[in-house]
Amino acid sequence: MYNDDPYDDAPVGPAHQGIPPGAHDDRRPVEARQMGLSRHTQEGALIEFASQLSATKPTHRFIAFLMLIAFAAPALYTIVLIL
């Protein structure tokens, strides 16, 4: 974006694009960061969501179980159709 103040030496960063600098709490695994997956891609958003789940909370465990069923069901269905 355009900066009106000629004496402002601050670099133009995400805050100037509407995203505060501290808004991103990066909890992605190292491998996801190395592959360039961010929360703005489908795969990265799914990885970030799954990495925020805590095994100590029962509702998080239930959501993780539902995700496991949702991703395993098509593969299991295909295997059953092949047999």
Q: Highest mean pLDDT range out of 12-16, 22-26, 64-68?
A: 64-68
Nearest to 48 by CA among 28, 24, 70: 28
What is the average per-residue pLDDT within 49-60?
Answer: 89
For residue 25, pLDDT over 90 is answered with no
Q: Of 14-18, 47-51, 59-63, 66-70, where does mean pLDDT reach its minimum?
A: 14-18
What is the average per-residue pLDDT within 48-77?
Answer: 91
Separation in Å, CA 42 to CA 4, 45, 47, 66, 78: 36, 5, 9, 18, 23
